[in-house]
Structure 1
Amino acid sequence: MTTPPDTTLAPVVAPLRGTRLTLRGATLGRPGAPVLDGVDLDVVPGEILAVVGPSGCGKSTLLRTLAGLLPSLGGDVTQDGENITAPRADRALIFQDDALLPWRSVRANVELPLAIRGVTRAARRAVAESWLERVGLAGHSAKFPHRISGGQRQRVQLARALAGEPRAVLMDEPFGALDAQTRAGMQQLLVDVLRGTGATVVFVTHDVDEALFLGDRIALLGTDRVLDVPRPRDREAHGDPATVALRRTVLESLGT
């Protein structure tokens, strides 16, 4: 008798649904030490919102609040109209530090969110292998994190985040520690991998050119301004008058 295939979670990556993240009059920070006050922001489903601002302005605080790690001190912080009060599986957080578990293989790290959900071993292995292939690490699944480069570890972290099928991906300067060439490659990989998933992305960066390349819009934290980014997305468009003007506006908001 032939055993039917395990279809608990198919290896083919299904499109993800984006989600709306909204802040209305929000005060963010820790009790007694607010960092941001009166924040109004609406992140629409499926967009990449790049968030820039000077050091110490609260970019990471914003991201941790959206992740549910920090409760808001006032105002409203919601996902699809529901208050964000705690972490949830459909919001993935990616840090600059890859945060991989050193005692787990590359594949086992990617499988982690699926294992936590109780997905069967065969199904989660298939999904992990599928995502590793998408991020260009198909031949590295059995390696451990210390045997791969920093850029490769960030690819693993991205695969792990998306394997759990989040509706929102919150990224805290994930490419900041990479060299320029690896960073550019990771930026392009992020765009390519996210294409078609529908996931909503909030990408915090201090790099203006990174924000211009990745973002559909750019939020200037500490102001009420959210700016549209000219499209189509193209690195060679950095000399386009509209892009030059936008870059100048962002730099002025940073005081540079």
Structure 2
Amino acid sequence: MATIPRLYVDAPLVASGVIVLDDEQSNYLLRVLRLEDGAPVRLFNGRDGEWTAAVRKASGKRAEVTPTGQIRTQDGQIRTDLTLLFAPVKKDQTDLIIEKATELGAARMVPVLTERTQTRTVRTDRFRKIALEAAEQTERLDLPEILEAATLDAALDALPEGMAVIFCDEAGDEAEAPWGGKTGRARPMLEVLEGLKGRPAAILTGPEGGFTPGERAFLLSRAETYPVSLGPRILRAETAAISAMTLWQAVCGDWDQAGT
């Protein structure tokens, strides 16, 4: 089954219901993979589980698929309640964050514009395409929600009441010392996560150069904000986001579940 092509479609999945694919998906099946009429594919839409379907060349360059049977129900999917709040960085690095966050099971992602965010042109349409491709490849039955970019204040205000915010804080309290000195350092993330099991959470990572002292003071003053350290080295922004999500999945997420 793993070798059968897998596609996301924004259409109801019902037995014998014909779905006409768009140009990109048609080209992929008919010209890249060179599938013949009747070849099997797998389909999911985030609502109706996963189905097998048969391919047929339609008019012109379009392909159509006909669902033939359900192989996984949507109810069987384990969905983690994890939000990733991240400051956009350079294009390739931001694309990597989106791809890996999808693979790691993020339910939603929000680009956050901080004082030191250098990349302020955010194309959520491209992010959604990257997430779609990652979901197709990693057996997810849904797509993560990708929200429009927001300021730090607005992104935090939009979170559900009581949601734990895991603040990746690599600074200390001494504003004039390199990286904030040694006082006021956050606890290791693994220690903090032990107390957050079973709770919906948002992971917050900063831009290149980190959060400003004012932003850090604001975050530390918030209720339900948990500063964490990712170790003795300063990580690149994309590395921090991926590492933090990996640790959360290992302690609080669904990595204790087998694949289906």
TM-score normalised according to structure 1 size: 0.25
TM-score normalised according to structure 2 size: 0.25
* Higher helix residue share: 1
Using CA pairs under 8 Å that are at least 6 residues apart, name the structure with larger relative contact order, 1 or 2. 1
